[in-house]
Amino acid sequence: MKKTLIAALILGVCITLSVGVNKARAMDDAVSKHMVAEATLTAHFIAAAVKAGMSKADINAVLAKVAKNSAISEFWISDEKGRVEFTNVPGTGFKFPTDVNAKSQAAPFAALLSGAKKVVVQGFQPREFDGKSFKYVGVAGVDKARIVQVGVAGKK
Q: Which residue, among 67, 73, 66, 36, has the nearest Cα to 153 in the 3D structure? A: 73
Q: How far apart are CA 42 and CA 27, in angstroms?
A: 22
- Other beta carbons within 10 Å of 28: 14
| 64 burial type by CB count under 10 A (0-12 exposed, 13-18 middle, 19+ buried) | middle
- Buried b / exposed e over 81-97, threshold 16 CB at 10 Å, is ebebbbbbbeeeeeebb
**pLDDT averaged over every residue in the chain:** 87
DSSP string covering 16-67? HHHHHHHHHHHHHHHHHHHHHHHHHHHHHHHHHHHHTT--HHHHHHHHHHHH
Q: What is the pLDDT of residue 152?
A: 95
pTM, to two decimals: 0.83
CATH of the domain at 133: 3.30.450.20
Q: What is the pLDDT of residue 148?
A: 98
Q: Which residue, among 78, 84, 73, has the nearest Cα to 35 in the 3D structure? A: 73
Q: Which residue, among 38, 19, 142, has the nearest Cα to 88 in the 3D structure? A: 38
Q: What is the end-to-end Cα distance of the chain in Å, rounded?
A: 47
Total number of domains in the chain: 1
Domain that holds residue 95: 2-153
> Could you give the percent of the chain with pLDDT greater than 90?
67
Q: How confident is the model at residue 89 (pLDDT cuts 50, 70, 90)?
A: very high
Helices (H) and strands (E) in the chain, counts: 3, 6
Helix axes 2-51, 56-68, angle to 10 degrees: 150
Per-residue pLDDT averaged across 73-79, rounded?
97
